[in-house]
Amino acid sequence: MVQAMRSRNVLVTGGAGFIGSHLVETLASEGHRVTILDNFSSGSRENTLGFEAAGKARVVKGDVTHLMDLEGPIQDCDAVFHFAANPEVRLGDPTVHFETNVRGTFNVLEAMRSSSAKEIVFASSSTVYGDAALIPTPESYSPMRPISVYGAAKLSSEALISARCESYDLKGIILRYANVVGPRLSHGVIHDFIEKLRANPRELEILGDGSQRKSYLFVKDAIDATMTCWTRTRSNFEVYNVGSDDDIDVRSIADIVAEEMGLREVAYRFAEGVKGGTGWVGDVKFMRLDINKLKSLGWSQRHGSRDAVRLSCRSMITRTS
């Protein structure tokens, strides 16, 4: 269990999104006063309606790319959970990642300068490591060579936060998430497979050669890890890998999705147009994080990668059936 913390005023950017909305739910249940800032570009208004109706969170429509949208909501906050981002790793336009994921982080830090907020928890990504030569990959791994603009934007944001923590006496916690899955997920390989099989239950196109292998973490475990890091980190700046001890390949994910949808004899068609058998340019083929540092805080996962995929698949099928 995560130790109790006195009630705080917190701002969650991207609080209507997949991970953000689950985080808001936990923060509110533990008595924290939550403000959500979201532009609803990838987050859903549905994810916030229950919080508003119950009086557990205040929702402000705003965009982190606009500094003025942050200045009001952040004023009386003690801490900021910065989860607003464009979540598409394979997005074609690099300008979107720069504006939303880098400039957005810069604006959050700027707004913090004139507010009472002295802590920032940032949702980073395993993509900052690129094609790591060491697996499982520890936080100390170098050189950091992202192979996607998304990963580069996350690493840039980490650097901005590190510099601000040193220069302005802020507390910063960087969370490098693996593939987080679960209820409310609206993108990624599980979502894509379900949609493809609904369109054609006999054949499934799989991007890459199917051998891509990565770790998956159920969202409830990810939120528990997030709260553990926030409540138990004592230094002014720390980086944590947030993932699972195991991994699963893409073909096995396809098997689970087909099974959960009650489909048999689905023909797999592999689209191997990218060198190395990855799904797209910038896709990391193999990823598993070293999570010993996170475990040292007392956290442990409840679900492995395979269970996380299956539970996520079930929730998505039930939600849209």
Q: Please state, in angstroms and rounded to a whole number, the distance separating the CA atoms of residues 125 and 44.
A: 21
Asked, for residue 93, whether it belongs to a domain, the answer is yes
Number of domains in the chain: 2
What's the CATH code of the domain at 283? Answer: 3.90.25.10
Query: Which position among 150, 177, 216, 240 bears the catalytic label?
Result: 150
SS3 212: coil
Looking at the fold, whether 194 and 222 belong to one and the same domain comes out as no
Q: Are residues 142 and 209 in the same domain?
A: no
Are 156 and 146 within 8 A, CB to CB?
Answer: no
Does any domain span residue 2?
Answer: no
Q: What is the pLDDT of residue 100?
A: 93
DSSP H stretches of helix in the chain: 18-29, 46-53, 67-71, 94-96, 104-113, 149-168, 189-199, 219-232, 250-260, 292-295, 305-320
Q: What is the pLDDT of residue 1?
A: 44
pLDDT number for residue 51: 83
Residue 237 forms part of a structural domain: yes
Range of the domain at 271: 189-213+247-291+303-320
**pLDDT for the residue numbered 267:** 98
Q: What digits encode the pLDDT tens for the residues 228-248?
A: 999 999 999 999 999 999 999
Return d(Cα 225, Cα 308) in angstroms, integer. Answer: 15
One domain, residues 170 and 55? yes
Residue 141 annotated among the catalytic residues of the structure: no
Residues in the chain where the model's pLDDT stays below 70? 1-4, 91-92, 320-321
